[in-house]
Amino acid sequence: MPKDEFEWIQQHTPERYSHPGVIEGIGDDAAVYAAEEGFDEILCVDTMVEGVHFKKQTMSAYDTGYKALAVNISDIAAMGGIPVYYIVSIAVPSSWTDEELQNLYNGMGELAEEYHMDMIGGDTVSSDTGLVISVTVHGRVEKGRHLVRRNARPGDIVFVTNPTGRSAAGLEWLLEHGRDSACPQPFQTLTAYHRKPRPRVKEGRVIAGVAPSASLNDISDGLASEANEIAEASGVHLQLNKQDIPVAGELEEGFPEDTYWDWIFYGGEDFELIGTVREKDWPLLKHSMKQEGLSLYDIGRVKEGDSLVTLLDGKREERLPKKGYNHFQS
């Protein structure tokens, strides 16, 4: 880990900030920023633990930093918001070199630059086990426009932004072969979905703008788990149609059907968006997404009844349980 924390802070203090709202950034006991009139503030935090959420075997330091920020930006996207600032706290073991730590921050910096985000604080401590990285992201959304899970109503259309399951497939390859092995197609695409997920901020902004009564959730623990969270929060039954759920070509071409459907429903770490929208708002939302070059799939309907999720496959209907996929479970 860094020998001098203050020197480390100085190395990562930006010369300028993207947002004029920063009053005091890195260098004091806390950051100070001005709230923007007409917006509500959003805060979220996620923590990644080495050996639990990532391994050096599957993720470079650069990819780990990138993903640590991406998973938080995805939470902002699920509220229909804009990511603005972030704070980073890391617990560093002696097994991590200064070069690796620099690459960790470089990974975050690449994604932050894309979204014009400013790092405005953080903390660095030592760890006796693996590396722990905790990222807090501040975002904003226009007043009255934030999206939540509890907005689903009977009659709504259930949608998803893109196919799921690719991240889990990529992780399976990385666990078997390691990140330094030559990676053929389609596995290059699949491993990229796992190591450098794309937060769906633009999609969330379109949904919030066109359908502020929609429900929305990001897919961190699998399509089935996140659909169940919407069902529970809204007190409704989500019925998904199997034939309408998109399947990535890389999965259809390279894996048995039972395997890729398990990844689609329970693989997790796709960071796509699943939600519901009033039927009357669907045509405009679909059109608006198409105009922006974005995908949106109608995958089911919201029904009255108990808080659960079912899968309709022809005439057969079965319950989809709320469970996630533990990638590193022995």
Give the mean model confidence (pLDDT) for residues 62-76: 97
Q: Does residue 177 sit in the same domain as residue 290?
A: yes
Q: Does residue 61 sit in the same domain as residue 131?
A: yes
CA distance 214 to 204: 10
Q: Cα–Cα distances in Å, from 282 out to 83, 107, 200, 207?
A: 26, 37, 19, 10
Q: Does residue 42 sit in the same domain as residue 64?
A: yes
Predicted confidence band of residue 38 (pLDDT cuts 50, 70, 90): very high
Tell me the binding residues for substrate.
53, 269, 325
Domain range for residue 277? 149-319
Q: Which of 124, 142, 160 is the last residue of a domain?
A: 142
CA distance 58 to 39: 39
Q: Does residue 282 sit in the same domain as residue 160?
A: yes
Predicted confidence band of residue 254 (pLDDT cuts 50, 70, 90): confident
Predicted confidence band of residue 327 (pLDDT cuts 50, 70, 90): very low
Tell me the binding residues for ATP.
105, 122-123, 149, 220
pTM for the model stands at 0.91
Mean pLDDT estimate for the chain: 91
Q: Does residue 28 sit in the same domain as residue 123?
A: yes
Q: Which of 78, 111, 142 is the last residue of a domain?
A: 142
Q: How confident is the model over 147-189, as pLDDT tens digits? A: 999 999 999 999 999 999 999 999 999 999 999 998 888 899 9
Give me the pLDDT at residue 25, please: 65
Tell me the binding residues.
29, 46, 53, 75, 105, 122-123, 149, 218, 220-221, 269, 325
Q: Does residue 133 sit in the same domain as residue 236?
A: no
- Does residue 30 belong to any structural domain of this protein? yes
Say whether pLDDT at 221 is over 70: yes
Tell me the binding residues for Mg(2+).
29, 46, 75, 123, 218, 221
Contact 297, 227 (CB under 8 A): no
For residue 8, the one-letter residue type is: W
Q: How confident is the model over 255-307, as pLDDT tens digits? A: 999 999 999 999 999 999 999 999 999 999 999 999 999 999 999 999 999 99
Q: Does residue 35 sit in the same domain as residue 127?
A: yes
3-state DSSP call for residue 126? strand
